[in-house]
Structure 1
Amino acid sequence: MNLAMRITVIGVGNEFRHDDGVGWAVVARLAERAEQRPLPIGTALLVCDGDPARLITLWEAADLAIVVDAAHAHPGHPGRVHRLDLDSERLCPPGGATSSHGLGLGEAVELARELDRLPGRLIVYAVEGADSSLGTGLSAPVAAAVEPLTERIAEEITSCGGPGRSPLRDGTHAASLHP
Structure 2
Amino acid sequence: MKRKDFLRLSGSLAVGTVTTAPALLVSGCEPTPPVARENITEKDIPILNEVAETILPATKDVPGAKAAKTGDYIFMMYTDMLKDDDRALLLLGINKLDADAFGLFKTDFNGLEKEKKEFLLRNYHNEAFAYGQQKAAGLPINKHFYGLLRSLTLSGYFGSEIGSTKARIYNPVPGGFKGCIPLKPGQKPLG
Is the pair's TM-score, using the shorter chain for normalization, greater than 0.5? no
**Structure holding more helix per residue:** 2
- TM-score scaled to structure 1, two decimals? 0.30
Structure number with greater Rg is: 2
RCO higher in 1 or 2 (8 Å CA, sep ≥ 6)?
Answer: 1
- TM-score scaled to structure 2, two decimals? 0.29
